[in-house]
Structure 1
Amino acid sequence: MNFITKSFSELTTTELYQILQLRSEVFVVEQDCVYQDVDFKDQKAMHVFGIKNDKIVAYTRIFKPGDYFKNASIGRVVVQENQRKFGYGHQIMKVSIDAIKNFFKVDKITISAQKYLKKFYESHQFIQVGEEYLEDGIPHIRMDRY
């Protein structure tokens, strides 16, 4: 797996298309959730993605402090369903956390996590802050990493 981090303007049209396709495949189709994925926040984000056999199979977008939350943030964490058994979710999170440190020079990170993934994010030193809430009809929790 080769991991790459790019700004929105650095993405090729093929990379952008593959990213949007992967996000739609998982968040809209697999999770059966109708929501507006194309939210005009991609232009502010750095895009972290993993390529295997010339295809993007893992992805996150990261934000500097103030662009999404007060702290830096990681969002749209996604791994193609048939690739999850290889641990790419953990790898993309490590790469994303390192990218925040390298690009934004901060350690504090806030995420809006799907509740069922709480233990996954806890394994990356995130802790739950506050109560559960619904986002796009799916239970979420705020989690912070210091």
Structure 2
Amino acid sequence: MTTLPSYTTDVRRLEELSALDLYAMLKMRVDVFVVEQECPYPELDGNDPACLHLRLLDGRDLLACARIWRPEPSDNPRIGRVAVSPDHRGKRLGEALMRESIAACEQAYPGETIEISAQAHLQKFYASFGFSPISEEYLEDGIPHVDMLRAKP
């Protein structure tokens, strides 16, 4: 059984991040979503200023990150840009990241349904956190996805 590394959870608005912290987070997202997944898309999509940014840290080392936001006032809050550093995979950080993201989302948007756009091959992983599919599989930036909801607590 893999032991979960120690980490601290940090949740901030974009403007509260230092330049170095912002750089590390954006670099990880580009490394994972654009380079590793070979998916050329606009990672800097203009939405980050409206988001809460959750990071799992080991000291100053960024282990994983996600963003939490509500695209429109009538929309469900969303968890997105869920990424674990390639250097720290296989340590159950994905599970920790989702638990922390759900908790932060529930704190920011109490009693609301949470939505995600999940890569289709991760449906079982997200289902383990109470998410259920609400759409057929579709391509987003060339990668199969499915929309999923987590019912109100």
Task: Spell out, residue by residue over 1:112-139, the C-alpha distance to the aligned partner (whole angstroms, 9 max, x if none).
Answer: 1000111110111100112011100000
Structure 1 residue corresponding to 2:80, chosen from 70, 75, 95:
75
1:130 counterpart residue number: 135
Q: Describe the SS at the equivalent of 1:107.
A: coil
Q: Structure 1 residues 65 and 26, CA, compared in 2 at 3 Å: closer, same or farther?
A: closer
Aligned counterparts of 1:52 and 1:17: Cα–Cα separation in 2: 17
2:93 is aligned, of 85, 88, 92, to 88
Determine the structure 1 residue equivalent to 2:72. 66
- For normalisation by structure 1, the TM-score amounts to 0.94
One-letter amino acid of the counterpart of residue 117, structure 1 = L
Q: Quick check: which one's strand share is greater?
A: 1
Q: 1:63, 1:74 within 8 Å by CA — same for their partners in 2?
A: yes
Question: Which amino acid letter does the alignment assign opposite residue 29 of structure 2?
Answer: R
**TM-score for both structures, normalised by structure 2:** 0.90
Distance 1:107 1:81 in 2: 32
Separation in structure 1 between the aligned mates of residue 48 and residue 71 of structure 2, nearest angstrom: 15
Once the 2 structures are TM-superposed, how far is the Cα of residue 35 of structure 1 from its aligned partner? 0.5
1:40 matched to 2:46? The reply is yes
SS at match of 2:137: strand
How many residues are treated as equivalent by the alignment?
145
Structure 1 stretches (4+) deviating beyond 2 angstroms? 64-67
2:13 corresponds to: 7
Gaps of 5+ in 1: none
* Aligned counterparts of 1:117 and 1:42: Cα–Cα separation in 2: 23
Match of 2:107 in 1: 102
Unaligned runs of 5+ in 2: 1-6
Is the contact made by 1:59 and 1:77 (CA closer than 8 Å) also made in structure 2? Answer: yes
Q: Is the 8 A contact 1:63 1:73 kept in 2?
A: yes
